Amino acid sequence: MTVAVDALPVPRRVDDDRTAFTRQVLALSKRSILAIYRQPALVAPSLIFPLFFAALGASSFDRATALPGFPQVDSFLSFSLAGSITQGVLFGSAPTSRVGILIGRLAGAAVFGAFQALFFTLVLMPFGVSVEAGVVGLMVIVLAGAATGMAIGGFTAAMALKTGSSEAVQGSFPLLFIALFFSSAFFPRETMQGVYQTIANVNPVSHLVEGLRGLVIDGLTWGNVAKAVLVPVGIGVFSIALAMRTLAGRLAAR
């Protein structure tokens, strides 16, 4: 019988732990991003459906842009770009499962969110949509897509860790649907009434969308940048803290 001396545990230093942690996170991030690339059938709907809705909206609601409460836009498509990006990222960020694992998974959601933001903008540009905030604005939109992807990924990760059920994570769709439709993603808050307007006013998705829309329609302002980036970052801090806490609870229970 031989003893493999090389395999014996060697005392580790803190620096080694940090390096290992970074390596693990990077490896898991890469895996998560590759999973998106390797399973196009899972991500295709979150790219196709927002474009389908944008096309439907452009034909159905173009005349509505003349109504009081609508911002000055060349077409409904310009108005709907921000809603399409938010819709795609909300329905496209669904990671399913220690800290490194979680961060690695969320990195995949963030990269996909950024890709979606860029994809929707570039696809709609030949149809008359222009980003008034220019290239810098487009970079802010992509950054906001990444932050939103990570934020929503945090919620779905928390739900997955809590329930351990992919069915329950799929069941979050109606909640995201409500968050999206009770916001100004598709129509301005100024055109809503009563309780709908009250909910849309307090819904953070409204402020995120309006920041993105401001960059598309009005141009580069600190207010638009702050709303487009800080709102998803704020949601992300909360959702990732929730996911971490759920993860700690799950590990403690074992």
Residue 186 interacting with another protein (CB under 8 A): yes
Cβ at position 174, least distance to another protein in Å: 6
Cβ at position 198, least distance to another protein in Å: 10
How many Å from the N-terminal Cα to the C-terminal Cα in the chain? 35
| One residue of 64, 73, 230, 242 binding another protein per CB under 8 A | 64
How distant, in Å, are the alpha carbons of 7, 16, 30, 103 from that of 20? 17, 6, 15, 14
Q: How far apart are CA 64 and CA 66, in angstroms?
A: 5
| One residue of 191, 230, 238, 244 binding another protein per CB under 8 A | 191
Cβ at position 60, least distance to another protein in Å: 4
Classified as helix, coil or strand, 207 is: helix
| One residue of 15, 167, 222, 252 binding another protein per CB under 8 A | 167
Q: How far apart are CA 156 and CA 172, in angstroms?
A: 8
User: Contact at 8 Å (CB) between 207 and 121?
Assistant: no
Residue 128 interacting with another protein (CB under 8 A): no
Question: Which segment (95-103, 134-142, 179-187, 212-220) binds another protein by CB under 8 A?
Answer: 179-187
Sign of torsion, CA 249 110 211 65?
Answer: negative
Where do contacts with another protein occur on this chain (CB under 8 A)? 52, 55-64, 67-70, 167, 171, 174, 177-178, 181-182, 185-187, 191-193, 195-196, 199
